[in-house]
Structure 1
């Protein structure tokens, strides 16, 4: 059986990201920090990349494509992933994300704002971050620091989450939806240039954003193929 035809591929990929994030975090929370060590900065970026994968997994669960044959498992993987990403409320994310797809680039779109990058990002953060998230993160941090060094928690648990939020917003919301869009483009979303290496490491192929809006039933790992088909169609 080809891997692409494997029925449970979405589940395997989702769990691989979650396990990789968790295993990497456990290792890094024990890692001896020396700021002259160049690996420290590579590890921060690596953990940011895995954090982004955690959120993308929650996002794909919202679209029902992590475990399409098992809606209950799909929900719980999404719920768990959203919780790992700074205690995000999965139900709230789901409602707002479906509104984004339904009312893209309009006043009813919770992800859209007619303003510069900073104002848009602040509006985006206010739209999604809740006081409960902040409290839960604070409580978790104070519990974890009883067992792990504060520097490790900040470097490998907190900073990557913040950087990942910026990464997700910049590549998955701001670049695709900013500015004017062709009137005939009902999706009001543009895609970055065809480069799978850049697209994967920038935001798990979500820079191919027009394809995501055109085919929301595709998981992140099928967006590259969809982008190739669109490129060939245009040519």
Structure 2
């Protein structure tokens, strides 16, 4: 899915800027999933720099290439964007103000500089959510798709990477063999952006009996609304994502307690 988003945005904007935008967003997501708040928030600074270059290209037709500094991000710069004589209102007002909020929070909360407030879950959640909206809005403005379609594209971009899961070109494995199959399914789906077939999941979990895997693991998860299981494909629901994150938090705390 990254290739689709990258091609869509690169048709209008410099490919290196688009790549930097997506790279920083994915790094934010990965660190957030690992509950590493400071790296997640720190990466937001790079995201803001890439997004500002796109805004400037839309509003003024020119921007600084990567490697050369942008103007300081302050009130005057916000007013410069707002006063542009052309460009969608999102490029002039909504996107710059969202990015400015992210930039200021990142700089004043113990991320880029010392602060009484250390990086934390609350700030990291706000920053990631804001950057997710910015990326979806850039896709909407570039493609003309609906907000729901754009957010779905952004969601499908995310491959959550966690230390509990081994992955290579052919297989994924939960590295704790004692974890029950239903929990392994939630963790594996959490790390995968696209729907996964029931047979691929069975192979990843190494569950021997095909029929029992469906009736004892997947169908109960579907009935609990933790996964959507349809046409042999499985995808986490919002409730399933929350359940997987709670499970991973418990595993992380247990690991830290034993170190």
Q: TM-score, normalised by structure 2?
A: 0.25
Q: Which has the higher strand share?
A: 2
Structure number with the bigger relative contact order (C-alpha 8 A, sep ≥ 6) is 1
> TM-score normalized by structure 1?
0.27
Tell which structure's C-alpha radius of gyration is larger: 2
